[in-house]
């Protein structure tokens, strides 16, 4: 029997986190290109828009309790799919879905597949809604409903994550989905957009997506405030009470203050240069 190295509750949360990615990213990549590569293969979910915004080019592993041999096989398959694409993207891997042997061998297996670790993350979830309507003394909140606002939202993400501005815009500008179905908000300081966050309904939950703050305005509580706003409005519109997200290292300390609890450690891999 595989030793998953996590409690049943933790594993359930990790599965939820992986499945939320697959659900949300299906909508996001099809929004960019109706011909996007959206496939559910054995042990691999492909969600690849092949656009310039690398976050919309995604593969994740879906086996539960994969041993070292199976994990290595899946990594090789995923890397082969990534090599067949025009635009770069990421393999998102939820560590707790691997058994202990596979986790111990992960670095070597990724290297063999031609993948390199890009950055870490953390899956989080919580039954935390509704929350009080947020305020921040520096900010006013504006819902994203126009292409101009979407461009500002994209630019904030590009600056925060180190993408070229045109790459971020390729992921969002012109999106009907974001203007009509995502509860996306800009935090404005003196009429200048400085932070942003969105929530979208996904399989009975609100998923928090693309939270970013302009690097020159970090550590002022702006990201937490705008995330609370997106959650507040999303919950008010949908009546949902559970929320999920995938946090970067920068965001990981913020979300527990809102009520999220970490579940699976995540790893983002890119193809070796």
C-alpha to C-alpha distances, 152 to 75, 149, 165, nearest whole angstrom: 35, 5, 10
Going 167 to 170 to 173 to 179, the CA torsion angle's sign is negative
What local confidence, expressed as pLDDT, does residue 9 receive?
A: 53
Please, what is the average pLDDT of the chain?
95
What local confidence, expressed as pLDDT, does residue 273 receive?
A: 84
pLDDT-derived band at 246 (thresholds 50, 70, 90) equals very high
pLDDT-derived band at 11 (thresholds 50, 70, 90) equals confident
Judged against a pLDDT cut of 90, whether residue 95 lies above it is answered with yes
Q: Where are the beta strands (DSSP E) in the chain?
A: 37-41, 44-48, 57-61, 90-94, 115-127, 140-143, 183-189, 192-202, 205-213, 242-248, 261-271
Asked if 151 contacts 270 with a C-beta cutoff of 8 angstroms, the reply is no
Long-range contacts of 215-218, Cβ-Cβ distance < 8 Å, separation of 24 or more: 215/159, 215/160, 217/189, 218/250
**What average pLDDT does this structure show over 121-132?**
96
**What average pLDDT does this structure show over 122-134?**
96
Q: 171 is written with which tokens?
A: 């992921």
Q: What CATH number does the domain located at 140-240 have?
A: 3.40.630.30
CATH 3.40.630.30 in the chain is located at 140-240
Judged against a pLDDT cut of 90, whether residue 4 lies above it is answered with no
Distance from C-alpha of 215 to C-alpha of 135, rounded to nearest angstrom: 21
What local confidence, expressed as pLDDT, does residue 6 receive?
A: 52
Burial class, 5, CB count within 10 angstroms (exposed 0-12 / middle 13-18 / buried 19+): middle
What local confidence, expressed as pLDDT, does residue 5 receive?
A: 47
**What average pLDDT does this structure show over 52-76?**
98
């Amino acid at each position: 029997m595989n030793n998953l190295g996590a409690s049943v509750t933790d594993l359930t949360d990790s599965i939820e986190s992986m499945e939320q990615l697959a659900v949300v990213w299906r909508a996001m990549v099809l929004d960019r290109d109706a011909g996007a590569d959206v496939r559910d293969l054995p042990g691999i979910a492909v969600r690849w828009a092949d656009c310039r915004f690398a976050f919309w080019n995604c593969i994740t592993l879906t086996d539960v309790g994969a041993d070292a041999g199976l994990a290595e096989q899946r990594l090789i398959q995923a890397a082969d799919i990534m090599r067949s694409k025009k635009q770069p993207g990421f393999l998102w891997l939820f560590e707790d879905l691997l058994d202990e042997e596979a986790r111990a061998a992960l670095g070597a297996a990724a290297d063999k597949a031609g993948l390199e670790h890009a950055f870490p993350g953390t899956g989080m979830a919580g039954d935390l809604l509704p929350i009080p309507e947020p305020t921040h003394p520096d900010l006013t909140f504006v819902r994203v409903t126009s292409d101009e606002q979407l461009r500002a939202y994209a630019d904030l993400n590009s600056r925060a994550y180190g993408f070229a501005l045109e790459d971020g815009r390729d992921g969002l500008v012109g999106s009907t989905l974001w203007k009509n179905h995502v509860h996306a908000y800009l935090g404005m300081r003196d009429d200048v957009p400085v932070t942003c966050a969105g929530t979208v309904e996904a399989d009975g939950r609100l998923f928090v997506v693309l939270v970013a703050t302009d690097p020159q305005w970090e550590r002022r509580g702006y990201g937490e405030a705008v995330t609370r706003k997106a959650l507040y409005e999303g919950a008010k519109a949908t009546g949902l009470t559970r929320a999920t997200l995938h946090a970067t290292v920068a965001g990981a300390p913020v979300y527990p203050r809102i009520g999220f609890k970490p579940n699976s450690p995540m790893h983002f891999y890119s193809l070796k240069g």
